[in-house]
């Protein structure tokens, strides 16, 4: 059975997250139902990350098996055609080795969290950024964020329902960009706990608003207690930006003549 | 009568442009009706540029007179509150000299045209960029654009219904930015003809698609004939980004104690 890897963009607004659930629409359901319609059999789609309700994806990565081989170009076109009117699109698609796994083989994930820091309500960035009216001290937020870089017990920034076996995670980098009212946080790690990025953002905003001194992030982290952390930032500012696989995994896709 | 200047953002998608028209919703109508509701009398709002149906604004500038003075802060808040649910927001507001005119005193206008150059349909940038599937040669588009910089007769890039007295305009700068699939064109001029930016963009895309050699832009310009130009780019890629006033106009607003 040929295996395919797809890089996927979606606007999270209309979906109850990636994962299939009863009675509500998920990206996984749209993806699987569209594939089933194309190949006339049920297909399971595995994603690199399970995004929550309202969270967007710029570069989610998924894999799935089909019984018959398709040319990647035709499969991508057909998927994009039948995804409509849903806000889901396959940006690229390729055949990969039959043991490739979108989630298990990912070595790095990158999220972007967007803030719009201004008094006026959002028009063009509505549902694409967290609107914060109080002026934020971005250099202080970036400074505070550095306490989180490295390997730590992230219990303070972990959702109660998080299913990860361990709260110990490694953050490679947290970086901020500011341009006018737009503030973006880039965060890279091998993997994340449930709601980790949103809990970090919600807490860093306390620093930005000068409710917390930067150093309190360190105290909060060391408390290993969710109650010591700040609130969870809303999902509509979060973008699942990129997934990295080892170079080998990028090269070992089957070259099939079509 | 105190005069106010406001910088305004709007998503053009739901509006039939800036200018008030019968039976369809315009940004001007929303703005004027909201003001009338606040001050209980009719108010006329003048804009720096009349954007067309579907065109967005990041920094449209308007002015209007009120019979009674408002503190700018309160007026901005009230407008933004009552604009809802429309996608219109006042980014900044100040009292200006009673002879300030948003359109007549503007010395420079800047537009941004956004293209998304990729096969996959747009999710996150839907209605915020022109989707072009054919790969575009951006350096060639930028090169071709330079033939348009300076003072020229822009009849080739002027809408049939354009009400400007003269087709002669000066373009200060045309610059391109590319980041992944996103291509942005920045264009600055004292003022523009009706549909000039969209007609220029539509024509430059012919160059980008290698349907036209770059030099043909020069021939088209010199033809002074709309039929010699390319098609009109769609409105939803166009953003009215910025209006510049002389430094004097920026300083001469009345400082009123409230």
Domain boundaries defined on chain B = 3-105, 108-242
pLDDT tens-digit profile of B132-155? 999 999 999 999 999 999 999 999
Mutate one of B120, B126, B128, B180 to test the A interface: name it (highest A CB count within 10 A): B120
pLDDT tens-digit profile of A20-57? 999 999 999 999 999 999 999 999 999 999 999 999 99
Contact A234, A13 (CB under 8 A): no
Contact A171, A187 (CB under 8 A): yes
Mutate one of A121, A180, A184 to test the B interface: name it (highest B CB count within 10 A): A121
Asked whether this chain's domains A3-105 and A108-242 adopt the same fold, the reply is yes
Residue A3 and residue B103: Cα distance in Å, rounded? 59
Answer whether residue B250 shows pLDDT above 60: no
Answer whether residue A254 shows pLDDT above 90: no
Q: Does A99 participate in catalysis according to the annotation?
A: no
- Cα end-to-end distance, chain B, whole Å: 16
Residue B66 and residue B72: Cα distance in Å, rounded? 12
Count of helices and strands (H, E) across chain B: 6, 11
pTM: 0.93
Average pLDDT taken over every residue of chain B: 95
B108-242 maps to which CATH number? 3.30.70.660
Residues of B at the A interface, defined by Cβ within 8 angstroms = 9-11, 56, 58, 76-77, 80, 83-84, 87-91, 118-124, 126, 128
- For residue B8, what are the contacts with CB-CB under 8 A and spacing of at least 6? B27, B31, B57, B59, B60, B61, B62, B88, B89, B90, B91
Q: How many CA atoms lie within 13 A of B170 on its CB side?
A: 6
- For residue B142, what are the contacts with CB-CB under 8 A and spacing of at least 6? B174, B175, B176
A124 to B9: CB separation less than 8 angstroms, yes or no = yes
What ipTM was estimated for this complex?
Answer: 0.91
Residues of A at the B interface, defined by Cβ within 8 angstroms = 9-11, 56, 58, 76-77, 80, 83-84, 87-91, 118-124, 126, 128
- Cα end-to-end distance, chain A, whole Å: 16
* Crossing angle of helices B72-83 and B27-39, rounded to 10°: 120
Answer whether residue A230 shows pLDDT above 90: yes
Chain A residues with beta carbon closer than 8 angstroms to that of B87: 123-124, 126
Instruction: Give the minimum alpha-carbon distance from A86 to chain B in angstroms, rounded to a whole number.
Output: 8
Domain boundaries A3-105, CATH class: alpha beta
Residue B249 and residue B105: Cα distance in Å, rounded? 8
Chain A residues with beta carbon closer than 8 angstroms to that of B128: 124
Q: What is the pLDDT of residue B163?
A: 87
């Amino acid at each position: 059975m040929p295996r395919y890897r797809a890089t996927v963009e979606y606007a999270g607004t209309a979906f109850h997250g990636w994962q299939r659930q009863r009675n509500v629409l998920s990206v996984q359901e749209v993806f699987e139902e569209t594939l089933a319609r194309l190949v006339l059999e049920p297909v399971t789609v595995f994603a690199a990350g399970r995004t929550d309700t309202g969270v967007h994806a710029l570069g989610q990565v998924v894999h799935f098996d089909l019984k018959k081989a398709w040319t990647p170009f035709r499969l991508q076109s057909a998927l994009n055609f039948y995804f409509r009117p849903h806000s889901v699109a396959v940006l690229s698609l390729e055949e990969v080795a039959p043991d490739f796994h979108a989630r298990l083989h990912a070595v790095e994930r990158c999220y972007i969290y967007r803030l719009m820091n201004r008094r006026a309500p959002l028009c063009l960035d509505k549902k694409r950024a967290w609107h914060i009216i109080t002026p934020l001290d971005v250099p202080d937020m970036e400074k505070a964020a550095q306490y989180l870089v490295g390997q730590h017990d992230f219990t303070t920034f972990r959702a109660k329902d998080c299913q990860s076996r361990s709260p110990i995670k490694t953050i490679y980098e947290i970086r901020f960009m500011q341009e006018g009212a737009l503030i973006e946080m880039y965060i890279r790690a091998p993997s994340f706990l449930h709601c980790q990025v949103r809990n970090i953002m919600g807490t860093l905003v306390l620093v930005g608003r000068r409710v917390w001194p930067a150093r309190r992030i360190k105290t909060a982290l060391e408390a290993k207690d969710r109650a010591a952390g700040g609130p969870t930032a809303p999902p509509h500012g979060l973008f699942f930006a990129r997934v990295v696989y080892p170079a080998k995994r990028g090269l070992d896709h089957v070259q099939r003549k079509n």
